[in-house]
Amino acid sequence: MTATPGFLDVRDVRKAYGAIKAVDGVSFSVGPGEIVGVIGPNGSGKTTLFNSILGQIRPTSGSVELCGEDITGMSPLELARRGVGRTFQTLQVFGGLSVRDNLIAAAQEFKGTLPGRLFAKPDAGLGHHADEMIELFRLKHVAHLPAGRLSYGQQKLIDIAMAFMPAPRLVLLDEPCAGVNPSLVDQLRELLVQLNRTQGGSFVVIEHNMDFIMKLCPHVICMVEGKVLAEGKPAAVQANPAVLEAYLGN
């Protein structure tokens, strides 16, 4: 359990599909500004847990609280309005929009009234912030190109930048390193550390790249077969014999 419970509290969350228990009684807390890593072999229920927290699916039982408010089963729209963002394993950019427009679209719904949005300036007053993010993610040279035309790695960076555009209080990142050139992984980690420092949000990160997660996250949870097998400091989890067995077998 992490040091400051009460920001995000996941309590005994279960999600079953018939007899299959995809998530089986998972509890953990994330403190303000904390970065928590979630690891586990394929099929261990990490993404189902994310989807249960984020309203994509309703958990069979258990609760999720954000700052003391029960957000269990809330729609992604309601969660977004409460400052919760996410990225997906697969790319979710708007391929026909430019990189800059993707970033503006990611934050524009939080600005102004309905009539204001109908007739607002095209950049919704977010152009400057979008340019800052483009600079931060080193996407300036492709800022005005349609996102769908860029490389997978560049689209992945856009995806992550979009999640941070509205300055969310909580971001759940699902395999941010998947498909990213290994030479960019360190850059991505530094970006996340910088965003954590400047925006102050809490992050929960699912990742298979152990080096990435061990360096990024002060607290790690290992899931196996829908349950929390181990949690604690990265080195302790990595050295845990049960975790090694889950990954490597006997």
Partner 1 sequence: MGDFIHLLVSGTATGAIYALAALGFTLLWQAAGVINFSQGEFVMLPAFAMLFGISFGLPLWLAFLVACVLAAIVLGLGFKRAIADRLMGHGVIPLVIATLGVSIAVKSIVRAGYSAEAHPVPSPFPGGVLSIGGINVSYADIGTLVMAGAIVIGLQAFLNRTVTGRAMQAVAQNTESARVLGIDVRRMVAYVFGINAVLAVVTALLIAPTYLAKFDMGDSIGQKAFFAAIIGGFNQTRGALLGGVLIGVLENLVGFYVSPAYKEGVALALFLAVILFRPEGLLGKAEERKV
Q: Which residues bind partner 1 (CB under 8 A)?
A: 54, 75-77, 80-81, 85-86, 88, 92-97, 101, 104-111, 117-122, 124, 162, 166
What H or E segment, with its residue span, contains residue 70? strand 69-70
Choice between 137 and 229, CB closer to partner 1: 137
Choice between 166 and 226, CB closer to partner 1: 166
Choice between 120 and 178, CB closer to partner 1: 120
Choice between 85 and 234, CB closer to partner 1: 85
Could you tell me the smallest distance in angstroms from the CB atom of residue 20 to partner 1? Answer: 20
Choice between 80 and 220, CB closer to partner 1: 80
Could you tell me the smallest distance in angstroms from the CB atom of residue 183 to partner 1? Answer: 27
Could you tell me the smallest distance in angstroms from the CB atom of residue 167 to partner 1? Answer: 12
Axis crossing angle, helix 152-164 with helix 127-136, rounded to the nearest 10: 130
* Integer Cα distance of 106 and 175 in angstroms: 20
State the residue for tokens 């928590």: 36
The torsion angles phi and psi of 187, rounded to 5 degrees, stand at: -60, -40
Q: 141, exposed or middle or buried, with CB in 10 Å at 0-12, 13-18, 19+?
A: exposed
CB count, 10 Å around CB of 200?
A: 11
Could you tell me the smallest distance in angstroms from the CB atom of residue 79 to partner 1? Answer: 8
Could you tell me the smallest distance in angstroms from the CB atom of residue 130 to partner 1? Answer: 12
Choice between 74 and 243, CB closer to partner 1: 74
The helix/strand/coil state of 157 is: helix
Could you tell me the smallest distance in angstroms from the CB atom of residue 96 to partner 1? Answer: 5
Choice between 113 and 250, CB closer to partner 1: 113
Cβ within 8 Å of residue 189, ≥6 positions away: 212, 215, 216
Write the DSSP symbol of residue 165. T
The helix/strand/coil state of 65 is: strand
Could you tell me the smallest distance in angstroms from the CB atom of residue 140 to partner 1? Answer: 21
Cβ within 8 Å of residue 48, ≥6 positions away: 15, 22, 23, 57, 226
